């Protein structure tokens, strides 16, 4: 397989958050290049503070691309959500995601913009209304992203973190029902190991709509540090003709260097054989 390999970066975050590179983003670009990664996935904290020109220069200097821009911090730090019952909150969330899409476009992100927790949870009491609102919001973002040559990558997350789209089948059915052509399925092996009955079957279900992949092992450490069957995952990716990025999103333990280097060693070997 010839997928681009990426690694996750953030300026600052919780110690056990599954983000490998921490601190200055220009250093993260340099480190990703030294470890042999093709690309960097960035959790932007605030669009207004993002060092766009510095990053463009660093990417050109080190020959690294941006795979995706992640929106999670809009939710975790500012509690904004694109389906909030408060119209001001959801308008602010949508405006921020548009700014993140602009950053992705400026940096020429290869895969798109990740939508995870910011999509919100589905309330038991008004499911139909919630689904319509979510579909409308995703359609607006998908259309805006398309004008910038970007895709919306909706992440399938495990049941302990969300009640919405915990399996590939659930998200695929939603995208098909609401006809959202520029919204794509973003899988994560850590979440799949919790909620999918069969990881290879889940990838086949995502099929032609599969837009992005996070990899971590069963314990959310670097691939190879747990008991996931990656051979089966990569065989299914090959079967569906998956050409997009494989991005390492794992807990940086015992330290970032080990996680970055071991992930690259494991993935390059496993992908060569698949």
* Active-site hit among 41, 96, 155, 196: 155
| Shortest CB 117 distance to ligand LER, Å | 7
CB closer to ligand LER, 99 vs 155: 155
Per CB under 6 A, 18 contacts ligand LER = yes
Which partner from the list Mn ion, ligand LER, none does 217 bind, CB cut-off 5 to 8 Å by kind?
none
Angstrom CA distances, 28 to 64, 253, 256, stand at: 10, 17, 11
Binder among 99, 102, 188, 217 for Mn ion (CB under 5 A): 188
| Shortest CB 114 distance to Mn ion, Å | 8
- The interface with ligand LER within residues 208-247 (CB under 6 A) comprises 214
Sign of torsion over alpha carbons 43, 271, 225, 35? negative
Which partner from the list ligand LER, Mn ion, none does 161 bind, CB cut-off 5 to 8 Å by kind?
ligand LER
* Active-site hit among 41, 96, 196, 249: 249
Which partner from the list ligand LER, Mn ion, none does 183 bind, CB cut-off 5 to 8 Å by kind?
none
Per CB under 6 A, 13 contacts ligand LER = no
Which partner from the list ligand LER, Mn ion, none does 195 bind, CB cut-off 5 to 8 Å by kind?
none
Count of residues in contact with Mn ion, rule CB under 5 A: 3
Q: Residue 219: how many CB atoms within 10 A of its CB? A: 15
Distance CA 228, CA 132 (A): 36
Per CB under 6 A, 116 contacts ligand LER = yes
**Radius of gyration of the chain measured on its C-alpha atoms:** 17
155 in active site = yes
Rounded to 5°, angle at Cα 6 from 193 and 47? 105
Q: Bridge-partner residues for 79, per DSSP? A: none
| Shortest CB 264 distance to ligand LER, Å | 19
Which partner from the list Mn ion, ligand LER, none does 111 bind, CB cut-off 5 to 8 Å by kind?
none
| Shortest CB 128 distance to ligand LER, Å | 26
Distance CA 117, CA 156 (A): 10
Q: Which residues make Cβ contacts (< 8 Å) with residue 273, sequence separation at least 6?
A: 231
The separation between the first and the last C-alpha atoms of the chain, rounded to the nearest angstrom, is 6
Q: Residue 166: how many CB atoms within 10 A of its CB? A: 20
Residue 131, class by beta-carbon neighbours within 10 Å (0-12 exposed, 13-18 middle, 19+ buried)? middle
Give the residue from 220, 147, 223, 139 showing the smallest Cα distance to 181.
139
Which positions lie near ligand LER, rule CB under 6 A?
A: 18, 72, 116, 155, 157, 161, 188, 214, 249
Residue positions annotated with a catalytic role: 155, 249
């Amino acid at each position: 397989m010839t997928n681009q390999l990426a690694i996750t970066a953030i300026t600052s975050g919780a110690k056990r958050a599954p983000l490998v590179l921490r601190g200055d983003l220009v250093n993260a670009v340099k480190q990703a290049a030294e470890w042999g990664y093709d690309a960097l996935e960035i959790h932007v904290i605030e669009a207004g503070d993002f060092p766009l020109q510095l990053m463009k220069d660093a990417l050109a200097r080190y020959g690294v691309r941006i795979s995706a821009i992640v929106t999670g911090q809009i939710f975790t730090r500012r509690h904004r959500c694109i389906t909030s019952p408060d119209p001001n909150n959801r308008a602010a969330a949508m405006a921020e995601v548009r700014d993140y899409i602009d950053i992705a476009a400026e940096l020429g992100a290869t895969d798109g913009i990740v939508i995870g927790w910011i999509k919100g949870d589905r309330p038991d009491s008004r499911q139909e209304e919630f689904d319509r609102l979510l579909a409308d919001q995703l359609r607006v973002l998908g259309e805006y992203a398309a004008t910038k040559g970007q895709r919306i990558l909706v992440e399938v997350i495990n049941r302990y973190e969300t009640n919405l789209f915990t399996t590939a089948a659930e998200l695929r059915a939603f995208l098909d029902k609401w006809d959202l052509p520029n919204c794509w399925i973003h899988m994560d092996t850590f979440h799949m190991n919790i909620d999918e009955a069969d990881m290879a079957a889940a990838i086949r279900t995502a099929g032609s709509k599969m837009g992005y992949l996070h990899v971590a092992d069963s314990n959310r450490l670097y691939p190879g540090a747990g008991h996931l069957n990656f051979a089966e995952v990569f065989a299914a990716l090959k079967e569906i003709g998956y050409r997009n990025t494989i991005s390492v999103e794992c807990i940086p333990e015992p330290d970032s260097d080990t996680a970055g280097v071991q992930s690259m060693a494991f993935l390059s070997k496993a992908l060569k054989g698949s």
